[in-house]
Structure 1
């Protein structure tokens, strides 16, 4: 493939607000397109649904960034802690991935997640109790963010009062945009995060509780089922991944409804549509965009295109989820859509472990907000919504107004 790579223009506010016109163009031009993604990194973007689905289960495509030929990818990680950060299950392949995932999978089974519904509902109601009398709010800062942070903190056994600190460090570790992240900023954030996580582990060793973090410490100390670096990396991954995409799902889902009043009215009139609506939010404008990175272990042919060994393959889940060959009228938000096998949570062995929890939080948060905030409307024009640039997609803030209530 000889054409020049296409720049994903994160410096352009119009693209950040709505990347889908460019995604559509790339998908129409070919099944695999060379692009320059966040941080000025070149990648091979898989644009169509069937090819993306196959790529997500292709063992020739590694999750381990050490298989990438572009050394800049490793340099984006804190120099002193690269091995530790690379020890998490998101960036590992079998057999390590299988072992690590098994350690935490029981905490996220459908039955265990369903048992969390009353607690999540209580937390949701408390947040809305606090903001409802004002008649206006930022539904990200005041609602979509603190809810999943509290849920994952309680599941892990982490003090909720610490959330502002680990949110701040996490944001500096994962934020991507036009330029590569400043190594000094990344290193400093990881030093703080590592010190925080090791302190939590030390506390759980001294006084274990009935929580996921205590169970992981036991698996490390008594059962030798993971190393100390793997333990630190696992806690960081669960803290960060346990809330970021859910924040984007809740904020992005509400934003989608407020900019599609017919769909909002339909959902208000029939709350039974809520589970399907959440799936449609994930398909229509999911929390990961343009997709999921893998690294070619060898020369790989994808949809007739040769991708060289070491190349970064960006499996465009957000691009594929609007493929008209898979989804009729894909650019239309339709909360009644039935056949909705989107790729927002991935596919295969790396399918998002927290998907059941994210779905439940999304359903409860969005449904309760619609019920308890009458007259809910944007306080800014749709084009003035501030969206996160690069990689993780969702509104940075969502100013709204509503009828004040008790």
Structure 2
């Protein structure tokens, strides 16, 4: 089969449950030119090289044939230095080192309490949807509290965030139709967050949004539109990818009951399990629409200046040239290196929080659910091939054990 056709099949919804056999075929041609003139790179070393190559831009506006423009400027993950570096530093002042080094660690107790309450809610029945009941409400509650978004507004921003995610990258429908859906959702979410930002400017609180609005440092301060694009990014990325990580994690563990049993008895196993999940079943499968700022030769193929490049992260993390026995889930690997959080200057801003959320959720689900088993395998999947994960994950279980601490 032609490599370009293999790439198309990866994005077809019929293959959402298992794209990995197709990735294996795609890697036989490490750099593939598609019919629209764009390129896809699928091997680990080549992806890592491009993630660190200053000739590769994350600003899709620099493409020779840019896609339809979004109604707002890109957030910092869609820009290049020095703009990217300035905005990321301003955002990080309120989230992590060096200015706020304990933000994530200080949330540990709160994370356990949120998960405890969610699992307590499963105790009066023997069947649950782990997406609706745990994997979605957990990171949504966390990012709402961190950012300062009222949790009761979840029903307002849920559909907007979902639409923005589902129209990211390749998907069903025409490019124009997807662009219009994305535009409408971005405008609605932007309007909502704009109202919140204005209220925080007048009455700051102890939350990340207030920090973005009022904060100043050596780089100055964020403009109103920069606050808006950053808040939009953090709200969406702060829960959508973690939902997939937790759900893919439970699905994988339920398919490996021996490891699920070990996780109950070996608390530290969850650390390696989450890292292996980020390699084995990553929530972000592609980084689409990177731009070549110059002619770049990769694996003997010259990608012309202005071309669009898609990096198949999920394929790279299962590259047998990089990792032994890549299609086996093994949290005991002595050295787990993956592309689950991207790499280079654009490596995932929220990685420390996502890791901790997944560790807490998977550990508590393993400890407290008695004899959990899948109702359907494979489960129904979300539409997006870029942010891939089950839409629902129905399970049955015998009972729920009382909470006994972390």
TM-score, normalisation: structure 2? 0.90
Match of 2:240 among 240, 244, 251: 244
Q: Which range moves more in the overlay, 320-329 or 3-12? A: 3-12
1:17 corresponds to which residue?
17
Choose from 126, 129, 134 the match for 1:138: 129
Superposition deviation, residue 185 in structure 1:
2.5
| Structure 1 equivalent of residue 51 of structure 2 | 56
| Distance in structure 2 (CA, Å) of the matches to 1:228 and 1:194 | 11
Q: 1:3 to 1:145 in 2, by over 3 A?
A: closer
Moved more, 94-103 or 186-195: 186-195
Please say if residues 90 and 219 of structure 2, whose CA atoms lie closer than 8 Å, have aligned partners that are also in contact. no
Contact 1:90/1:350 (CA < 8 Å) preserved in 2? yes
Q: State the distance in 2 between where 1:363 and 1:238 align.
A: 20
1:288/1:235 CA distance change after superposition, 3 Å: same
CA deviations over 1:198-250 (Å, ceiling 9, x no partner) = 11011101211011111111137998522221111011001011111111100
2:161 and 2:236 in contact (8 A); partners too = yes
* Cross-structure match for 1:169: 160
Contact 1:292 1:317 in 2 (8 A): no
Contact 2:261 2:366 in 1 (8 A): no
Shift of 1:402: 1.1
1:8 and 1:35 in contact (8 A); partners too: no
Match of 1:390 in 2: 385
Q: CA deviation at 1:4?
A: 5.3
Is 1:159 the equivalent of 2:150?
yes
Partner of 1:266: 262
Partner of 1:148: helix, strand, or coil? Answer: helix
Q: Distance between the aligned counterparts of 2:4 and 2:135, measured in 1?
A: 40
Q: In the alignment, is residue 328 of structure 1 matched against residue 296 of structure 2? A: no
Residue pair 2:213, 2:222 contacting (<8 A) in 1 also: no
Corresponding residue of 1:34: 33
TM-aligned CA deviation for residue 314 of structure 1: 1.2
Q: 1:19 to 1:228 in 2, by over 3 A?
A: same
Distance in 1, Cα, partners of 2:369 & 2:318: 31
Look up the SS of the partner of 2:229 in the other structure: helix
| Residues 299/155 of structure 1: CA separation in 2 closer, same or farther (3 Å cut) | same
Q: Describe the shift of the 1:163–1:220 C-alpha distance in structure 2 as closer, same or farther (beyond 3 A).
A: farther
Aligned residue in 2 for 1:127: 118
Deviation sequence 1:240-279 (CA, Å, 0-9, x none): 1111111110011001111222332332342321100000
Give the corresponding residue for 2:361: 365
Q: 1:35, 1:264 → 2: CA distance?
A: 41
Deviations 1:317-374 (A, max 9, x none): 1101011111100001112112111011011111111100000000000100111111
Q: Aligned partners of 1:223, 1:322: CA distance in 2, in Å?
A: 39
Question: How far apart, CA to CA, are the structure 2 residues paired with 1:56 and 1:46?
Answer: 11
Compute the displacement of 1:42 (Å). Answer: 5.9
The 3 A distance-change label for structure 1 pair 42 and 239 is farther
| Structure 2 unaligned spans of 5+ | none
CA 1:266–1:14 in structure 2 vs 1: closer, same or farther (change >3 Å)?
farther
RMSD, aligned α-carbons: 2.2
* Cα deviation code 1:164-199 (max 9, x no counterpart): 211210111221423234343323222211210111
1:108 equivalenced with 2:99 (yes/no): no
1:7 Cα offset (Å): 4.0
Paired residue secondary structure (1:400)? strand
The alpha-carbon distance between structure 1 residues 123 and 384, as it changes in their structure 2 partners (threshold 3 A), is closer
* Structure 1: runs of 5+ lacking an equivalent: none
d(CA) in 1 for partners of 2:289 and 2:336?
Answer: 23
Is 2:172 the partner of 1:178?
yes
**SS of the residue 1:137 aligns to:** strand
Q: Secondary structure at the residue paired with 1:306?
A: strand
Match of 2:258, SS? helix
In structure 2, the CA distance between the partners of 1:334 and 1:388, relative to structure 1 (3 Å rule), is: farther
When structure 1 is superposed on structure 2, of 223-232 and 211-220 the one drifting more is 223-232
Q: How much does 1:290 deviate? A: 3.5
Q: Which residue of 2 aligns with 1:150?
A: 141
Tell me the matched-pair count: 391
